[in-house]
Structure 1
Amino acid sequence: MKKLILTTTALALTAGMALADTVRLGTEGAYPPYNFINDAGQVDGFERELGDELCKRASLTCEWVTNEWDSIIPNLVSGNYDAIIAGMSITDERKEKIDFTQPYTLPDPSAYVALSADVDLTNAVIAAQANTIQASFVAAAGAQLVEFATADEALAAVVNGEADAVLADKASLVDQVTSNDQLVFLEKEELIGGGIGMGLRKSDAELRGQFDAAIQSMKDDGTLNALITKWEIGATF
């Protein structure tokens, strides 16, 4: 699913957090249906429900923190929160900086959205959110890439004529395409990334283990699949 890490000079914390303290969950709050801010100003979405249930099963007191995507890993490493739960795909590059739980979603196809189904992707200008697996994929393919700070800005670039198509997680595009009759999905899709997991500091192995066990328990009793289906995230386990 989404997002490649920004290089950071922040140093990892040398000691694990005290698990008796409140665990702060960091999310972007701008990537529906995974996470977004609702009309009441609260974090909402698939990952809000998931995170609350994981904390309950792990007997942890948790609170939510929002952070812009570009600095979400550096601010985890520097201690501004204790775990990332923000539609973050597990990648080898990210694992050089942080640890991950087991995945709580399977890889979701990345889809192209454009104003016309006739867009020729071989010559197109393609928009993507900066520092995502989609942006990396487009750049590696040698296509013309334009990057934007948020997923909404990348999609708006298509509507405004700044780009011919946008590439993003398909689940994040469905509502936008459904509500805007100018936009269409292209037939071509890309399978990028290895599923989404929670990101944690390498020093917090105990906390990672608690969340791993909670994720596994939700897989075992079917509640994780029920959430995935409810929020139309993608394939179930």
Structure 2
Amino acid sequence: MKNLILTSAALALTAGMAMADGHSVVRMGTEGAYAPWNFLNDAGEVDGFERELGDELCARAELTCEWVTNEWDSIIPNLVSGNYDTIIAGMSITAERDEIIDFTQEYTPADPSSYLALDADLDVEGAVIAAQTGTIQASFIADQGWTVVEFATPEETIAAVRNGEADAVLADKSFLVGAMDGQDDLVMLEREESIGGGVGMGVRESDTELKAAFDAAITSMKEDGSLNTLIEKWEVASTFE
């Protein structure tokens, strides 16, 4: 039954895109700067968990996919304006974002948010916390009434801690674990925050066939266990039960 659903969704999408632009190429938009979720490898190509996942989803949906990188702070506006067809960039599903775009079902459960600092005893509630602009972490800090400084890229948030502009950075734990590699002066605080929902693909609200095709592909990967295998390989989040 799941194969029938997947095939039907793919056929509907192909037909819909053929009417729209004469081909079934889907442009996959990502940031390319948030390892292990997505990053550029030494060859300058998109790599990471979401590249491997996205390629498999496209194969199951019988789509030709091309990868496009875009800075995080304009990633939603450029989806809406048509510069690409999906967002697959470690984006948590939130009610605020869902007012502007639509989401597939989650392809990972929510990843905890953690703090990286120079002082293991830091009191984050009285500290200056760095976060990437437009993230659930930046909104969380502001909602608490704490002091937040926002930066355009994840790398800049780490640099802000090291150069004294901020006392700590709040981000997805999976990203911070990698950022600590080789940085002996940085420590992960014990405190974690549960923010936002799971991570899904963003699509324009009008692209219902595209959403259905990727939903069916995600479901098939959950059912055969291959999605959990990828999550474990890249250590981006907990697996689905």
Map 1:176-195 → 2, pairs under 5 A: 176-195=179-198
Q: Give 1:111's aligned residue.
A: 114
**Structure 2 residue 70 is the aligned partner of structure 1 residue 61:** no
**Structure 2 residue 234 is the aligned partner of structure 1 residue 215:** no
**Structure 2 residue 96 is the aligned partner of structure 1 residue 96:** no
Higher helix share: 2
Aligned-partner SS, 2:180: helix
Map 1:45-84 → 2, pairs under 5 A: 45-84=48-87
Alignment length (residue pairs): 222
Give distance in 2, aligned partners of 1:218 and 1:21.
22
| Structure 1 runs, 4 residues or longer, greater than 6 Å off | none
Map 1:121-160 → 2, pairs under 5 A: 121-160=124-163
Give distance in 2, aligned partners of 1:136 and 1:153.
18
Letter in 1 for 2:227: L
Percentage identity across aligned positions?
A: 71
**Structure 2 residue 210 is the aligned partner of structure 1 residue 230:** no
CA shift digits 1:116-166 (9 cap, x unpaired): 101111210000001100000000000011000011101110011111000
Aligned-partner SS, 2:125: coil
**Structure 2 residue 34 is the aligned partner of structure 1 residue 26:** no
Give distance in 2, aligned partners of 1:176 and 1:116.
16
Q: Give 1:167's aligned residue.
A: 170
Gaps of 5+ in 1: 1-15
Aligned-partner SS, 1:116: coil
Gaps of 5+ in 2: 1-15
**What TM-score do you get using the length of structure 2 for normalisation?**
0.90
Offset of residue 21 of structure 1: 2.5
**What TM-score do you get using the length of structure 1 for normalisation?**
0.92
Letter in 1 for 2:84: Y
**Structure 2 residue 197 is the aligned partner of structure 1 residue 197:** no
Give distance in 2, aligned partners of 1:17 and 1:94.
25
Alignment check: 8 A CA contact 1:109 1:191 kept: yes
Q: Give 1:41's aligned residue.
A: 44
Give distance in 2, aligned partners of 1:191 and 1:52.
29
Offset of residue 179 of structure 1: 1.8
Offset of residue 17 of structure 1: 4.4
Letter in 2 for 1:204: D
Letter in 1 for 2:94: T
Aligned-partner SS, 1:118: coil
Aligned-partner SS, 1:102: strand
Give distance in 2, aligned partners of 1:151 and 1:17.
35
Aligned-partner SS, 2:56: helix
